[in-house]
Amino acid sequence: MDIENLLERISAAARAETDRGAVADYIPELARIDPSQFGISVCLANGAQYSAGDAATPFSIQSISKIFSLALALGRLGDSLWHRVGREPSGYAFDSIVQLEYEKGIPRNPFINAGALVVTDAILAGSTPAETLGEMLRFIRTAADDEDIRINERVARSEKATGARNTALANYLLSYGNMHSAIELTLGTYFHQCAIEMTCEQLARSGRFLMNAPGSSLPRLISSARIRRINALMMTCGQYNGSGDFAFRVGLPGKSGVGGGILVIAPNRASIAVWSPGLNSYGNSKLGTEAMEVLAREAGWSVFG
Ligand code: GLN
């Protein structure tokens, strides 16, 4: 397979597309992003990296950060985390509140907002927000082998200013005893982790720890058992109520963010980052999903054979 040529073809097709989805507008700083952009980057198990399009342009990783907070929380709490958050697909939008009432304050999974707030609250225990964010950035920088990964304070402030719904979710969790730190601290940490910026090149490198490549020389950040579990959750819950459609079309575990990025793992083979700011009706990158469908098909990477 000529991966360089394939990525160039995918990028050219994305550039020519006129129906690009809609940029997230509920976070004002994200509403200003130019929707004509598209980038893709692939890290292979043999260490090679290939990119096309706007792969060196930083964007807001948003909910993709939930992978890194989950990895830290599992490292810190182990399986006791699962007393506070479930691991089933939700079938509801990422910021939905209705299911929380039915299920008495235990969010369906760690990737919807309510679940991610619980995960962030769990890693905040005994630390300050600055220490927790520092730990998360250290993890990501080590994974990406790149110190130049930072939080965009303007995006964090913009999220806080318009965070009424996340605040409602946190209050709801608190009423069921499933928030242990002060909710302002958990929300502040969450808004800042969502505001981490990376390029496609950095994001693809940061995902290599989830590839579980045999004989890899990469630093082992988490155990193989946890890698399998995080990938399983990405497959079943990583695109919210669009997870079934993504599994059907792409056949790989992935995690999206409303900034338009998606991190996708081809187990044992590749870590892939794609970015295009326009979103589909589920809040996942429209062209990013389409690009992944083509890449997985042409590379023969679906986990379903
Ligand atoms: N920061 C966003 C929010 O909390 C993350 C959502 C997302 O990326 N789907 O609403």
Q: Are 32 and 181 part of one and the same domain? A: no
* CATH classification of the domain holding 81: 3.40.710.10
| Residue 44 shares a structural domain with residue 68 | no
57 alpha carbon, distance to own chain's centre: 17
Does any domain span residue 304? no
What confidence score (pLDDT) does residue 271 get?
Answer: 98
Among 165, 196, 227, give the residue marking a domain's end.
Answer: 196
DSSP string, the chain: --HHHHHHHHHHHHHH-S---EE--SSHHHHTS-TT--EEEEEETTS-EEEEESTTS-EE-GGGHHHHHHHHHHHHHGGGGGGTS--S---S-TT--HHHHHTTT--S-TTSHHHHHHHHHHHHTTS-HHHHHHHHHHHHHHHHT-S--EE-HHHHHHHHHT-HHHHHHHHHHHHTT---S-HHHHHHHHHHHHTEEE-HHHHHHHTGGGT--TT--S---S-HHHHHHHHHHHHHHTTGGGHHHHHHHT-S-EEE-TTSEEEEEETTTEEEEEE-SEE-TTSSBHHHHHHHHHHHHHHT--TT-
Same domain, 90 and 182: yes
Going from the Cα of 161 to the center of ligand 1, the distance in angstroms, rounded, reads 14
pLDDT in tens, 234-290: 999 999 999 999 999 999 999 999 999 999 999 999 999 999 999 999 999 999 999
Does the structure show a pLDDT above 80 at 167?
yes
Q: Which of 148, 171, 196 is the last residue of a domain?
A: 196
- How many separate domains does the chain show? 2
Give the mutation target among 33, 68, 94, 96 for probing the ligand 1 site: most ligand atoms within 8 A of CB.
94
Q: pTM, whole model, 2 decimals?
A: 0.98
| pLDDT for 219 beyond 90 | no
Catalytic: which of 50, 172, 240, 282?
A: 240
Q: Which residues pair with 198 in a beta bridge?
A: 59
Question: Do the domain assignments include residue 305?
Answer: no
Asked whether residue 224 falls in the same domain as residue 291, the answer is yes
Q: Are residues 12 and 110 part of one domain?
A: no
User: What is the pLDDT confidence band of residue 217, given thresholds at 50, 70 and 90?
Assistant: confident
Asked if residue 213 has pLDDT above 90, the reply is no
Task: Determine whether 26 is an active site residue.
Answer: no
My answer on whether 53 and 79 are in the same domain is: no
- Residue 159: CB within 6 Å of ligand 1? yes
Residue 88 counted as domain residue: yes
Decide whether any atom of ligand 1 lies within 6 Å of the 26 Cβ: no
Q: Which residue's CA is the nearest one to ligand 1's atom 6?
A: 63
103-137 confidence digits (pLDDT tens):
999 999 999 999 999 999 999 999 999 999 999 99
**Average pLDDT, rounded, for the chain:** 96
Which of 145, 167, 196 corresponds to the end of one domain?
196
247: domain range? Answer: 3-59+199-299
Weakest-pLDDT range from 1-5, 54-58, 113-117: 1-5
Query: Per residue in 64-98, pLDDT tens?
Result: 999 999 999 999 999 999 999 999 999 999 999 99
